[in-house]
Structure 1
């Protein structure tokens, strides 16, 4: 199976963790000899042509309008995307549909797969009902929560194969009754070709931000409640008692930005905390160069226990030390004391102790960085891991040898 159509919520040129994972997958598959295209749902809101090339990758856009009350509007979105997939398939003729969560993409791809008589792989990056809880837009057990979960179950049941990004998601599906043999794992990864030698500390930028000469704790990403950044700010007074020169650098933005800025302003450690807002993607490495430790204090929840984040892997690939809360998603990525440091989730005091302890072991930093980068190269390099998809596609090819778009349909 050489021609794969990826069904996506959105894509490049929009910038998001979702879009960057998609880029890494598609680039790695192209390098492995596959023909790749993507098609996006109505949720891709950036202006552009119906067929667009972004960073050398080809994406097709779904057009139309989905109006109406909640439920009916989403159903119309699904139908428009399904029709767009079928129309594209009649001209480009993919061998496999590879849909990526959310379930709206999966349901559209499932409809199209049955109309086209070609296999469907459905990939779950997170359970979106849990992500909505983490973003404070719903609560566990709500009607929206239960409906989203039901739609996900429907896609999983209908797909020919299911992929998840980590063991936590796979185990949860098995608990729901999905046969283990139907579910594979494609772990979060990084494109190591994007990471050369880490940049030297940008002294001019450090001076501009007033960081001084002490150690810098950094967070670069989106400011959501589940990220636990309030605990990181709350840890700073205790950390300063142990490491008076330490500074906290916060880069990014999001729903919690105003609340976090107010908390920092009221903190006894206010003078040691810097908020710089969002920065252009091309500038991010300059800010990484300032940080001795990247901190990921995620709160304990279903979302953080089941889902592995991408940011710690990127930090390891860039030669940064990593300190993270001991939620399940982090434990899948980080071995405490070997590739990073883990501390108790929802505990500012334990966060402060862990950071102070790591700062005090400067002599071990080179070894930890080297071990962490090797771990990423061996277990989370897209160039290597992407071949897991090819194994799944080949199995589907053998099982569904007669499932092909009829020549007359072209």
Structure 2
């Protein structure tokens, strides 16, 4: 390799100049915003230059990490908490040129993301895309399942234009390989903050404040309250458990546009609304098990945080959960939509304290494998590899 070429290739994280495009960097508190902000924080601590381009709102749910440039956008009809970007305006292109990135990371296949990839391609800049949710499954929850093949084709066109694609779990990566989304697919997993999420957060006093008796078994759910999280399946399985005469209580932690629907379906459940940080950890650790039937997760931060708190998990046999829950060891993986099987799995945990303890302990042990620093450095290493590969081709 000529010395002149070698001298231009970044070799350390501190050599990176990363332009990150996101459809939701700090507007709504969810798994992707947590992952992206933690990644930027890691990069900055290791000397990289980072500039984030994303839609903004006056009162965001999350304090943005790093420099954030606002992208022009409009609210999604019926889901106004999320916004869609409007491409790359001239002032954004000028800002990008002045920043002079050596790698682009695009985390959302929206108009700005598409234009950013085109901008990078014209300038021979490396591009990494990341998958944070299974967009192609969303139409199922809005009576538009017939659009799935078209949406999948559009996503394939977007992701194939990148140098590489990273997914949060091996199960999601395999889905993307099967869908032929890219030929270079790696893993950008998720971590859990063990100082926050751990069994020591369990509080009997907190439970009593919510109206739970010390001997009552609490089935928990925590996430944004949107239909694509499997709220209908959760409700149907809880109804089946009630019909079976299994005594239990339900705790729902979270906020979202489907809260009213969910409360009407589960009138006897306790709804706490949004919780974050230590308050969220106390709420989760004070449950007795987690029931999370969502099939739209690419990783499952909810599942991992519950496991870190020592809870057994009943989840859908789907991407994300399959890479975290060991069936019959740390929880149960049930065929999506199988209401009776979900109810049977819940009954086993509600009625068997030793089973809850053993499977919860196994889940906590598994959660120890997920370190944020190691996980985020793997993304930085991927940036460096892609920049090196592109430099050698030029």
Does the C-alpha gap of structure 1 residues 264 and 191 become closer, same or farther in structure 2, counting only changes over 3 Å?
Answer: closer
| Distance in 2 separating the partners of 1:76 and 1:390 | 26
Structure 2 vs 1, CA of residues 196 and 91 (structure 1 numbering), >3 Å: closer, same or farther? farther
The reply on whether 1:337 has 2:350 as its aligned counterpart is no
Q: Which residue of 1 aligns with 2:210?
A: 209
Q: 2:364 is matched with which residue?
A: 373
Alignment of 1:256-275 (within 5 A): 256-265=258-267, 270=268, 273-275=269-271
Kindly indicate whether the alpha-carbon contact (under 8 Å) linking 2:130 and 2:166 is maintained by their aligned counterparts in 1: yes
Q: Which residue of 1 aligns with 2:129?
A: 122
> Do the aligned partners of residues 290 and 228 (structure 1) sit closer, same or farther apart at CA in structure 2, a change above 3 Å counting?
same
Instruction: Tell me the distance in 2 between the aligned counterparts of 1:326 and 1:110.
Output: 34
How far does the alpha carbon of each residue in 1:63-90 deviate from its partner, in whole angstroms, 9 at most, with x for none? Answer: 4789xxxxxxx9981233xx45532333
**Residue 109 (structure 1) aligned with residue 105 (structure 2):** no
The aligned counterpart of 1:46 is: 58
TM-score (norm 1): 0.78
Query: Is the deviation greater in 92-101 or in 223-232?
Result: 223-232
State how 1:116-195 maps to structure 2 within 5 Å: 116-131=123-138, 133-136=139-142, 139-142=144-147, 148-178=151-181, 180=183, 182-192=184-194, 194-195=196-197
After superposition, the C-alpha distances for 1:87-106 in whole angstroms (9 at most, x for unaligned) are 23333332211110234343
Asked whether the equivalents of residues 285 and 306 of structure 2 are also in contact (C-alpha less than 8 Å), the reply is no
**How many angstroms does 1:399 deviate by?**
1.9
Deviation sequence 1:12-68 (CA, Å, 0-9, x none): 26423321121222233334553333111x4x33358xxxx93653322124789xx
Q: What SS does structure 1 have at the residue aligned with 2:201?
A: coil
Rate the CA distance shift 1:364–1:128 in 2: closer, same or farther, 3 A. Answer: closer
Tell me how far 1:312 sits from its aligned partner.
0.2
Equivalent positions of 1:7-18 (< 5 A) are 7-12=21-26, 14-18=28-32
Partner deviation per Cα, 1:271-330 (whole Å, 9 max, x = no partner): xx223334466632332232111111236xxx46xx332210111123322221323442
Calculate the aligned-residue CA RMSD, in Å. Answer: 3.3
Q: 1:169 Cα deviation (Å)? A: 4.0
Q: 2:344 aligns with which of 332, 342, 353?
A: 353
Q: Within 5 Å, give how 1:267-346 maps onto structure 2.
A: 270=268, 273-279=269-275, 283-298=279-294, 303=296, 307-346=298-337
| SS of residue in 1 equivalent to 2:252 | strand
Q: Secondary structure at the residue paired with 2:51?
A: strand
SS of corresponding position for 1:324: strand
Bigger drift between 243-252 and 158-167 goes to 243-252
Whether contact under 8 Å (2:290, 2:311) holds in the other structure is yes
| Deviations 1:173-231, CA, capped at 9 Å, x for gaps | 43444553x2212123334454356313151x423322112111111112233333333
Aligned length: 371
Displacement of 1:336 in angstroms is: 1.0
Unaligned runs of 5+ in 1: 67-73, 405-410
Unaligned runs of 5+ residues in structure 2 are: 1-9, 11-15, 76-82
- Superposition deviation, residue 115 in structure 1: 4.1
Alpha-carbon distance change, 316 to 159 in structure 1, aligned in 2, over 3 angstroms = same
